Amino acid sequence: MKENDKSVEHLLRSLKERAKELNCLYEVEELFSKSEITLDEISSGIVRSIPAGWQYPEVCVAQVEIDGAICASPGFRESPWALHAALDVQGEIVGSITVCYLEERPAADEGPFFKEERKLINTIADRLERRILHEKLKRVFENQKLTHPQDHEWEVIIDLLRRTDPKLLTRLLRKMLNYLSWAGIEDADRILATFNPSMSGGSATPGMDDNRPVHVMKKPDLLSLTEEIFRIASDHLSEKEILNNIQNWIKEDRSGFLVKILENAGSSLAEISSAIERFHHLSPQGIELSSPRERAFRVSLIRRLLSDHPQFINTAKQYLDVNDFYELLHRVIYPAGSHGRLGGKGAGLFLASNMLQKSRADGEDVSTILTPKTWYLTSDGILNFINYNDLEEIVEQKYEDIGQVRQEYPYIVHVFKNSPLPPEIVTGLSVALDDFGDTPLIVRSSSLLEDRLGTSFAGKYKSLFIANQGTKQQRLVALMDAITEVYASTFGPDPIEYRLERRLLDSHEEMGVLIQEVIGVRVGEYYLPAFSGVAFSNNEFRWSKRIRREDGLLRMVPGLGTRAVDRMTDDYPVLVAPGQPGLRVNVTLDEQVRYSPRKVDVINLRSQTFETVDLRDLIERCSDDYPLLDQLVSILRDNRFERFASATPDPETGFPVATFEGLISRSPFVEQMKNILGVLQREFRMPVDIEFAHDGRNLYLLQCRPQSYSETSQPAIIPRDIPRHKVLFTANRYVSNGTVASITHIVYVDPQRYAEIKRHADLVAVGKAIGRLNQSLPKRQFILIGPGRWGSRGDIKLGVSVTYSDISNTAMLIEVARKQREYEPELSFGTHFFQDLVEADIRYLPLYPDETGTAFNESFFTQSPNVLKDLLPDMAQLESIVRVIDVPASTNGLVVSILMNGETDEAVGLLGEPSAEPVTERAQPSEIEASPKEDDSHWRWRLRTVHELTARLDPSRFGVKAAYIFGSTKNATAGPKSDINLLLHFTGTSQQKKELVHWLEGWSLSLGHMNYLRTGIAIERFLDVHFITDEDIRKRTSYAAKIGATTDPARPLPVGGKVPPSVT
Amino acid sequence: MSTQSYNPFETAQHQFDHVADLLDLGQATRDLLRWPMREYHFSIPVRMDDGSVHIYRGFRVQHNDARGPGKGGIRFHPMETIDTVRALAVWMTWKCAVVDIPLGGSKGGVVCDPHNMSQREVEQLCRGWVRQVSRNVGPVLDVPAPDVMTNPQNMLWMLDEYEVIHGGKYPGFITGKPLSIGGSQGRKEATGYGVIFTVREALKDLKLKPQGVTASVQGFGNVAQYAVELLQQIGGTVVCVSSWDQGAKCAFSFRKKSGVSVEELRTITDPFGGIDRGKAQDLGYEVLQEDAWIEQDVDMLIPAALENQITRDNVGRIGKGVKLIAEAANGPTTSEADVALCARNMFVIPDFLANAGGVTCSYFEQVQSNMNYYWNKDEVFGKLDTTMTSAYHAVRETANKRKLTMREAAYVISISRVAQACKDRGWV
């Protein structure tokens, strides 16, 4: 209740203030409307009216000065709490209006003054300036009439200017002279030459190029040439042309104040904002500016508010004009004296939406795409916040050890969330909330470094959903809480590490914030869009060779787009290539159902939380509220899809599946997205990715940025000078972008031998062998190379019959198309489990070894030692068909990496030193040299700590006979995500085992935490311990087979300081 | 090179030769049955969405129609070969004969990958296929059906094209149609129910009462669900089913020792038999390892999921009490495992017989479409029961008489029926 009262009170108070201000304005207007009133009378009237219009009339005094004549309230004196407005008549300051508080009052927007009060004083000044000009002209005109009558209208103007505004006349003369000279009029050139003799040749300016200062002659007075210049003009130009030019130049001159503000690097956003406001009021229809001036305005505004990136400015200046900024600035919140920008996300969105709007106006086929209502908090807001709360020392935090950064991060979040935002920001947010109402909001980071070319920071900074329900005060608190959390994420370990890797740590980073309404509708107790997703103008996941890169890709999900942005482990988005909407990823009924989205992200308005709910449940409960359901959902009945009519849970009447069929084939949506992507890619001159959402009525653009790549999907640089024997294969068709590195094992199914298999059972056995290798080889460190179509069912002769679970741990799936007698086999492109591959980031590559210009080192695959029989002794009979190559063992410690570049359609698999691995090779030249990371650190400390662990392990207490290590730690390939594989030879009692497990759990937890501090990756079971018994060792069953194995043999570790029994 | 490689048609011929020896068939009969009677190879031009024309290769193989019009699916497969189509046509002949329905065996296909085609292009391909063979197929000649990568929608396009060409309504031209356009009632249940009809008869032979008999089932798709449903109706208890988990990318077994409930599980199962693990636990099911279904202490196993599931590796883990295996899936037992089962004297109802309920129902669909009069569900199930029961007994008798395994007996009886029909017609 109390909160409520407070906000009502606040509202009343501000309404009263606005009323007072209006009254003041009316009184002043009244003064001006009196026709016979003199300037002096107006001045004293203004001085009288002002105090009552200000917040603290009791201490408010005013003064108006015009041409030295001063009119002031009684008791007026200058104080530190003052508002000034200069009176600028035709570029000349003729006086000022000053409002002062005689005593200190609490701070508001500008010192103790509201920003409305600033507007008011500016308005009064504007009104007064016009009156002064009017008076001046009147006087001149009267004189004019008396002295000499004129023939030409323009002569009247020139004469007038000569008396009132010689500076303006000088500028006009200069322009006229240039204009005439451009028109090729020699008389004009002659006059110009008097300013610089070297220009006498006309257009050429040879003297200017010399490396010495240009000698300028004494400056002749241009004003004295007025008569001559205009004589020349009237000789060569028509009456109308002269008049038009003069009028245009004078008009343009009136925008001079804006030039001044924009060209001054010191002017604050507040000044820019009020200058633009004034510019807008000069002529709301827009002033006709000459194109260079217009362009200068655009560029200055873009640089000040959006970005100083040359490429960005170059693109943006074609689409944004001063009026766009006028609209924008109404929704920008900034600290006093701000020099901030909107940040990457804000700038990208603002530009993209204007770009689309203008393309539409130009007749491009881009149907309406709206932008959600957005408020912007400028990037320096965070500095202001830090400064306001004396948190400066946190800025240095980025230079600390990453482990320390991680450890301190929760503390920073805590401190930030408990620190207040400065009052001027709070006031701004309050206005924003009034504008938004109680629509759920998303608070998105928009930092300066974010979303720039090559540094997407994707997912590094926070974006937070807030339900925005409750009283105004509650909503404001929740909003501020979210903003401070976004601020805190600037100092999170992930972005700091990301900046470290890209050498951006020293670059200045500021965090802007976007406050955006969440697009959606109420569905039951939830709030969500009908569907949303991300769209890429370049398709990096082609499932058919008919799909080209430029056909793009849409990843769509029902509900909030969070599920489309990230890869999912338990669900799938709907994929469509907008350029080829007919070519679906999923063709059979089984695929269409298996790979359909089942879950929906929503905002629960009741509990005010972000939730994931089951799509079927949602449809059953709220099908009437859910928009576009008939376009998103099909009913599976009688082995085919029917259009959605109503949601019935009865299995007899059908099963709802989110196919998006209606949207794709019966609505213009896909075509619309294709056009949007086309326009954006063309205008940004680079591939882009966008986020979008649809609320059932309209499509909204939520974000636009240069297409981002995950760490492993950057286009790789293909080296040109690789020695032949290091190359395993090359490819030049259907290549996507990315790097697959640190491969230690290759599973090669010999195409020739596979084709020769005569028994069906043997073909089946190959698939089984792959499934078992998938379990025993180190995860994501092996690749599968095989003939034809991986995952063939039924006709398994055409490719190895595997299911996704048989290949789930591979890093890459390679299909080899060897020419058969008369035809080349058609490859599958992984379509049997395409979406599983996409979500798990398993890469796919087709090889066409018989094509000219490609290399295929067949002898490496067929001659290297085969370790299959050691891994799967019972499948040794497949040795000639399935070849498992332990790469380091057969190449003296080398490993394989596959570099893929979709831009040039090239890929190469090559052997290299493990240390020289191009782990994060990128195509942006500026970043290649980055990331000198010590890659071996992960396995080193793992090995060290394991030694420590086993040394402390008391063999008699726990009944442990020996300990072994195997896997990535032993192989020196462990990465940040690797666990530690331990093998314990156990001979104790069950009680001892219980104790041992307990003891190890403690180690596992603390080592896991250490790894988390180092890398930020939490691993559930950091120590993966396997127990083996005497019997296992005797029979070589279970993990005992690892001891003395050929591939990845377990290595004994000293236990309790003792050396373990030697194993042969 | 390709002559050396695995060739399904050669395998089919070897299988035939083996049985032909058992039956002591004459040379002419062998020559006739070793090869298809007719093969059509043709080109299908399709105007693609981008305006270009792509030529697809199509086939229809009619292996033998001595017992009636040919019956067999149409496959869309990017690496279709004539030998695969031939082998499948041969198997269709035997499959129809084993349940003694008056149909021959055919198969067709197109070399194409629907993943590379739009729906419009697929429609053109379907219509193009019919245009090429419309004189050689039809309700009284050869009846196609859906198969690998073809679906009911494709069948409707084909039917429509056929009817346009022949100027009449011929719903009996094709099967696998939706219920609303000439499909048959009971199609969904047919295969699963058919399995249990044969199981019921086998239990009589094994002197077991259906009441109280226990079973463990691999899979929970269409076939498994209806098999479990009917088995429970006749008094049996299913204690374990397994199902693929799309999230975990592996299968799990779900056990309830007091017996699983189909109705209950269906509410938490997606259309392809994926059971929601969490919800199953809430309903009191034990969630076990993927292959736990095979180790259950039950009277019978019903593998109703994929091929090659009972292997040399796990055949030894089959519970001691298991007396019967009903192969509801296609080829669930590998040949090595089959040898081990024989050695254990396990009673196996071979896939060929056990899952013939599907093709029987297709036959019913064709019969109903031809007379343009449709039966209700009970009528369909009644007729299905009769067909499956007599098929089972015929195979069982042959097995007893000739001292053969059920699998061998099923081949023997079907090949002898086809051979007899050829003889009766005076072909050989």
User: Containing H/E element for A817?
Assistant: none
Which pLDDT score is estimated for A114? 87
Per the CB < 8 Å rule, is A758 touching B117? Answer: no
Model confidence pLDDT, tens digit, residues A994-1043: 888 888 888 888 888 888 777 777 777 888 888 888 888 877 777 777 77
**CA-based Rg of chain B, rounded to a whole angstrom?**
22
Per the CB < 8 Å rule, is B334 touching A795? Answer: no
Per the CB < 8 Å rule, is B272 touching A590? Answer: yes
3-state secondary structure of A799: strand
Q: Residue B5: which of A639, A755, A768 has the nearest Cβ?
A: A755
Distance CA B131, CA B45 (A): 11
Residue numbers in A near B84 (CB within 8 A): 795
DSSP state of A286: -
Distance of CA A385 to the CA centre of its chain: 23
B314 CB within 8 Å of a chain A CB: no
Per the CB < 8 Å rule, is A797 touching B5? Answer: yes
Per the CB < 8 Å rule, is B2 touching A755? Answer: yes
The CA distances from residue B6 to A989, B3, B10, in Å, are 54, 8, 8
The CA distances from residue A691 to A396, A532, A563, A983, in Å, are 34, 8, 12, 48
Reported confidence tier of residue B69, pLDDT bands at 50, 70, 90:
very high
Per the CB < 8 Å rule, is A588 touching B119? Answer: no
Would the pLDDT of A924 be above 80?
A: no
Residue numbers in B near A753 (CB within 8 A): none
**Cβ pair B44, B128 in contact under 8 A:** yes
- The lowest-confidence range among A608-617, A756-765, B81-90 is A756-765
Reported confidence tier of residue A201, pLDDT bands at 50, 70, 90:
very low
Q: Which CATH code, of 3.40.50.10860, 3.40.50.1820, 3.40.50.1000, 2.60.40.10, is assigned to B8-12+37-172?
A: 3.40.50.10860
Would the pLDDT of B79 be above 80?
A: no
Distance CA A205, CA A185 (A): 17
Residue numbers in A near B271 (CB within 8 A): 593, 636, 655, 657
CB < 8 Å from A in window 340-399 of B: none
Residue A255 half-sphere exposure toward CB, CA atoms < 13 A: 24
- Exactly one of B107, B177, B256, B323 is catalytic; name it: B107
Would the pLDDT of A918 be above 50?
A: no
Q: Which two tokens stand for residue A705?
A: 């940025």
Query: How much is the average pLDDT of A234-246?
Result: 82
CB < 8 Å from B in window 828-847 of A: 828-829, 831, 836
**CA-based Rg of chain A, rounded to a whole angstrom?**
37
Where does chain B hold its CATH 3.40.50.10860 domain(s)? 8-12+37-172
A914 CB within 8 Å of a chain B CB: no
Query: How much is the average pLDDT of A719-734?
Result: 87
The CA distances from residue A139 to A68, A133, A142, A170, in Å, are 19, 10, 5, 21
Q: Residue B266: which of A571, A651, A798 has the nearest Cβ?
A: A651
Beta strands A633-637 and A640-643: pairing type?
antiparallel
Q: Residue A587: which of B1, B149, B180 has the nearest Cβ?
A: B149
Q: What are phi and psi of A953, to 5 degrees?
A: -75, 115
Model confidence pLDDT, tens digit, residues A279-306: 877 765 556 677 777 888 888 889 888 8
Which pLDDT score is estimated for B137? 97
**Cβ pair A734, B309 in contact under 8 A:** no
Reported confidence tier of residue A374, pLDDT bands at 50, 70, 90:
very high
Distance CA A492, CA A461 (A): 8
Distance CA B240, CA B256 (A): 6
Distance CA A769, CA A985 (A): 28
Q: Residue A756: which of B1, B121, B266 has the nearest Cβ?
A: B1
Distance CA A696, CA A869 (A): 59
Distance CA A304, CA A258 (A): 13
The answer to whether the Cα torsion of A698, A703, A709, A711 is positive or negative is: negative
Which residue is it, tokens 């939730």?
A611
Would the pLDDT of B229 be above 60?
A: yes
Which pLDDT score is estimated for A922? 37
Q: Which two tokens stand for residue A308?
A: 């100083």
- Which of A950-970 are b and which e, b meaning 16 or more Cβ less than 10 Å from the residue's Cβ? beebebeebbbbbbbbbbbbb
Per the CB < 8 Å rule, is B250 touching A588? Answer: no
CB < 8 Å from B in window 749-768 of A: 752, 755-764, 768
A585 CB within 8 Å of a chain B CB: yes
Ranges of H-type helices in B99-215? 119-133, 152-166, 187-205
Distance CA B182, CA B184 (A): 7
Reported confidence tier of residue A933, pLDDT bands at 50, 70, 90:
very low
**Cβ pair A968, A781 in contact under 8 A:** yes
Distance CA A645, CA A623 (A): 10
Reported confidence tier of residue B5, pLDDT bands at 50, 70, 90:
low
Beta-carbon pairs below 8 A across chains A and B:
115
- B107 catalytic? Reply is yes
Region for residue B345 given its phi and psi (left: phi exceeds 0; alpha: psi -120 to 50; beta: otherwise): left
Strand partners, A333: A377
Which pLDDT score is estimated for A198? 55
Which pLDDT score is estimated for A750? 92
Residue numbers in A near B176 (CB within 8 A): 639
The percent of residues in chain A predicted with pLDDT above 70, rounded, is 88
Distance CA A315, CA A854 (A): 40
**Cβ pair A743, A898 in contact under 8 A:** yes
Model confidence pLDDT, tens digit, residues A5-62: 677 888 888 888 888 888 888 888 888 877 778 888 888 889 988 888 888 888 999 9
A639 CB within 8 Å of a chain B CB: yes
The CA distances from residue A421 to A416, A430, A445, A517, in Å, are 9, 12, 16, 21
Query: How much is the average pLDDT of A889-899?
Result: 89
CB < 8 Å from B in window 441-500 of A: none
B297 CB within 8 Å of a chain A CB: no
Which pLDDT score is estimated for A504? 77
Would the pLDDT of B123 be above 90?
A: yes
Where does chain B hold its CATH 3.40.50.720 domain(s)? 188-354
Residue numbers in A near B7 (CB within 8 A): 758
- The lowest-confidence range among A330-344, A384-398, A827-841, B293-307 is A827-841
Q: Which two tokens stand for residue B233?
A: 């109706």
Nearest chain A Cα distance for residue B351, angstroms: 16
User: Containing H/E element for B150?
Assistant: none
In chain B, what is the greatest distance between 2 CA atoms, to the nearest angstrom? 67
Question: Which residue has better confidence, A618 or A791?
Answer: A618
Class of the domain covering B188-354: alpha beta
The CB density around residue B355, as the number of other CB atoms within 10 Å, is 26
The percent of residues in chain A predicted with pLDDT above 90, rounded, is 20
Reported confidence tier of residue B19, pLDDT bands at 50, 70, 90:
very high
**Cβ pair B165, B136 in contact under 8 A:** no
Which pLDDT score is estimated for A646? 62
Mutate to test the interface with B, among A541, A826, A839 (most CBs of B within 10 A): A826
3-state secondary structure of A681: helix
Question: Which residue has better confidence, A898 or A764?
Answer: A898
A210 CB within 8 Å of a chain B CB: no
Distance CA B378, CA B370 (A): 20
Distance CA A259, CA A272 (A): 10
Would the pLDDT of A203 be above 50?
A: no
Which pLDDT score is estimated for A1032? 81
**Cβ pair A592, A657 in contact under 8 A:** yes
Which residue is it, tokens 């935490």?
A1009
Per the CB < 8 Å rule, is B121 touching A582? Answer: yes
Would the pLDDT of A806 be above 80?
A: yes
Distance CA A600, CA A562 (A): 9
The CB density around residue A240, as the number of other CB atoms within 10 Å, is 10
B119 CB within 8 Å of a chain A CB: yes
Would the pLDDT of B39 be above 50?
A: yes
B237 Cβ neighbours under 8 A, 6+ residues apart: B212, B213, B214, B215, B258, B259
In chain A, what is the greatest distance between 2 CA atoms, to the nearest angstrom? 126
A596 CB within 8 Å of a chain B CB: no
Reported confidence tier of residue B1, pLDDT bands at 50, 70, 90:
very low
**Cβ pair A837, A546 in contact under 8 A:** no
SS (HEC) of A859-901: HHHHHCCCCHHHHCHHHHHHCCCEEEEEHHHHHCCCEEEEEEE
Which of the listed ranges A64-78, A683-697, B375-389 does the model predict with the highest average pLDDT?
Answer: B375-389
Q: Residue B114: which of A587, A590, A808 has the nearest Cβ?
A: A587
Model confidence pLDDT, tens digit, residues A379-395: 989 989 998 998 888 87
B335 CB within 8 Å of a chain A CB: yes
CB < 8 Å from A in window 133-162 of B: 148-149, 151-153
Would the pLDDT of A497 be above 90?
A: no
A569 CB within 8 Å of a chain B CB: yes
Residue numbers in A near B307 (CB within 8 A): 764
Distance CA A240, CA B274 (A): 83
Whether the predicted interface score ipTM is above 0.90: no
**Cβ pair A572, A556 in contact under 8 A:** no
Residue A943 half-sphere exposure toward CB, CA atoms < 13 A: 17
DSSP per-residue string spanning A445-496: EEESSTTBTTB--TTTS-EEEE---S-HHHHHHHHHHHHHHHHHHTTSHHHH
Mean pLDDT of chain A: 82
Q: Which two tokens stand for residue A232?
A: 């020349």
Distance CA A562, CA A602 (A): 10
- The lowest-confidence range among A551-565, A631-645, A682-696, A700-714 is A700-714
**Cβ pair B295, B318 in contact under 8 A:** yes
Distance CA A238, CA B144 (A): 88
Which pLDDT score is estimated for A602? 94
Per the CB < 8 Å rule, is B1 touching A764? Answer: no
Search chain A and give the residue with CA nearest B85. Answer: A795
Residue numbers in B near A764 (CB within 8 A): 307-308, 334
Model confidence pLDDT, tens digit, residues A555-583: 999 999 888 887 776 788 899 999 999 89
Q: Which two tokens stand for residue A751?
A: 């195409």
Reported confidence tier of residue A219, pLDDT bands at 50, 70, 90:
low
**Cβ pair A909, A896 in contact under 8 A:** yes
Would the pLDDT of A822 be above 70?
A: no
